[in-house]
Chain A
Amino acid sequence: MSQKPQDSIDQKRREFVSVASKAAAAAVVAPGVFLHSIGNAAPRSEPVTDAVRYGMLIDTNKCADGCSDCVSACDRENGLDQLIKPEGASDEQWAKQKPRWIRSVKVKDNLSGKVTSLPMMCQHCEHPPCVDVCPTGASFRRVDGIVMVDRHTCIGCRYCMMACPYKARSFIHENVQFKLTSAPRGKGCVESCNFCVHRLDNGGTTTACQDACSHDAIVFGDLKDPNSAVSQALAEHASTQLRADLKLNTGVRYRGI
């Protein structure tokens, strides 16, 4: 028996092992490299910065009585319209238990009787009581001013709902069958308006409620940029915070109340 054939077989095996291991390594690493490059390409890979503070001015003089365009737009944008009334729940019960991020409210001045319509939502306070009371830190404020809930650490204790002076938060009372990728949700967590954060983090500059308002009653933007539409509108007209006595420095301001 000569040595040669054995040598050549060895060589082939070696080549095979070499190619196979390279292929395996590529198969393992490639998706990561690919995802990494996607991650780098998307603007959300950059951390949010406090050079921006998102805020909103709502001009109640323009807000039309009976209009609920902003409410339905929010429902669509954040998948609230995908939720189904649990089988067995009454309409009345469901109305009180289903989540709502923005709602229309009509108020009458006790002295003058003047009636004002306005949309109410999370006021994105600089000093949010919901963030103070949250035991796990799930309720948090981003440095760009957006107050939101981390659904991975929310234990569903609802203390933030007890603490919010604007009743801005909702608890998910029911099983969730359908949800949008941009607005994930699950039973047993608390949620509220987040200024359509999925838009802002992907290069968007507007919120759904603002886009839907045909009366131009909602102006949204960067409160720290003096040239933004919201800053200019705030500079031009007097505006108020709701429950200004609490000194929460809200990111949402109102004109005409």
Chain B
Amino acid sequence: MKKIQYREWGIDSPRYWGLLAVLGAIIAIAGFAVLHMEHEGHWVTGMNNQVVWGLPHVFAIFLIVAASGALNVASIGSVFGQKMYKPLARLSGLMAITLLVGGLLVLVLDLGQPGRLIVAMTTYNFKSIFAWNIYLYVGFLAIVVVYLFTMMERKANDYTKGVGVVAFVWRLILTTGTGSIFGFLVARQGYDAAIMAPMFIIMSFAYGLAFYLLMLMFTFNTDGREIGDKVMKRLKNLLGVFTAAIFYFVVVYHLTNLYGTENHAYEAFILLNGGIYTTLFWVGWVLLGLIVPMAILFHPALGKSRAAITAACLLIILGGLSAMYVIVIGGQAFPMAMFPDKTIIDSGFFDGVNGAVSSYSPSLPEFLLGLGGVAVAVIATLIAVRMLQFLPASLADEAVDPHHS
């Protein structure tokens, strides 16, 4: 195998600056949306005292989950010793950082008191998984920076595997922590399930890889670098397997719920009569987010088409956002079982009168904030690959495949 060469992203300047301008404009608009929400208060959002987490949380949690998953490519290379993945590792580490920063920005800017971030960083209640997550996220950023250093500094290459193992274990714990935000909530019917943590881990594998593949194909196409068919086949098959694994977890989660009578109302809400949540579950999450991408990725002809693989990646991301919407907002919209064996027939606080679902309509500023987080992740990645040597000069089969003849 040849020695891997890395080169800065060579897209021509006008296109590069044009891209930065567009992304910068999105971020600026998102910034104004944040100022508007902070100045006026959360009443300008669709969130209320019943649905307390909204669209920003959908984006933030999706980005955080995708961030930990984006690191997988690097882990496969350095922890599991797959040579073919080694040239892919730097971009993987980079995207783990940028996606996490984008997600955390959204989360923090949605706080009622974002100015008190310093309080959150200095005052802890260690029984809270949120407090743990602050350490897990910050620690993850630090470890991945070191990990990237060991990859990019020749003298530190010997440490790549060791640091890679730490990063891999850390990311598993991190996503467990993110899934447990919901898994640990006893109050609500849709949460309080141990399966949330592993399900979030497997989701992260797929969403992170989908993001990664899109970025890889985009940066390579725009400056005329080659991604060999064998590399692409390995990556898209991996994505297909991760997608299938999500499918498995979704089936197990709902089958387990369906077995217990106490969960029947919640299951009916998600699977049958929950309006937007049912539609998003079946059409967004399952059909477009899982079945169609799997069909594309494993199809003998479509699976070879770069356009089809791009479409599959986009669908998986769309499915991921739908999944988060169903989990985060659907889980809150479903009325809480405050009085088992009784029906609430009147309430002064929207307590699910006669089973009524809590309403939530996302507002434009919330959406812009979420989009801003994605834009921050993308712009940071693009600037980094332009400035530093993150991208391998070639991923042609003969350059990376150890078995290439």
Contact = CB atoms under 8 A, between A and B. Distances in A.
A156 interface: yes
Interface residues of A, number: 63
Given A97-B43, A242-B338, A242-B339, A132 B128 contact: yes
B336 A167 contact: yes
Contacts of A189: 112-113
A235 interface: no
A172 B113 CA distance: 11
Contacts of B53: 158, 162
B51 to A, nearest CB: 9
B42 A108 contact: no
**Residue from B123, B129, B344 whose CB has the most chain A CB atoms within 10 Å:** B123
Nearest to B54: A158
Contacts of A257: 339, 342
A27 B223 CA distance: 75
Given A154-B112, A188-B41, A188-B111, A161 B49 contact: yes
Contact of B349 (A103, A111, A134): A103
A43 interface: no
B301 interface: no
B404 interface: no
A97 B44 CA distance: 10
Given A133-B130, A159-B128, A171-B52, A153 B112 contact: no
Given A96-B50, A167-B50, A108 B343 contact: yes
B345 A106 contact: yes
Interface string B223-242: 00000000000000000000
A8 B131 CA distance: 70
Interface string A76-101: 00000000001001000111111110
Contact of A107 (B50, B123, B127, B345): B345
Contacts of B129: 133
A175 interface: yes
A68 B348 CA distance: 10
Nearest to B328: A162
Contacts of B349: 100, 103, 105, 120, 167
Contacts of B181: 159
Interface in A20-46: none
Nearest to A242: B338
Contact of A106 (B50, B186, B347): B347
A165 interface: yes
27 contacts: A71-B348, A94-B43, A96-B48, A97-B42, A99-B49, A103-B347, A106-B344, A106-B345, A106-B346, A106-B347, A107-B339, A107-B344, A110-B341, A134-B130, A135-B134, A155-B114, A155-B119, A156-B116, A163-B185, A163-B187, A165-B338, A167-B338, A170-B49, A171-B42, A172-B112, A188-B41, A243-B337
Interface of A: 68, 71, 86, 89, 93-100, 103-111, 115-116, 120, 129, 131-138, 153-159, 161-167, 169-175, 187-190, 242-243, 245-246, 257
Interface of B: 40-43, 47-50, 52-53, 111-114, 116-117, 119-120, 123-125, 127-131, 133-134, 181, 184-188, 332, 336-351, 359
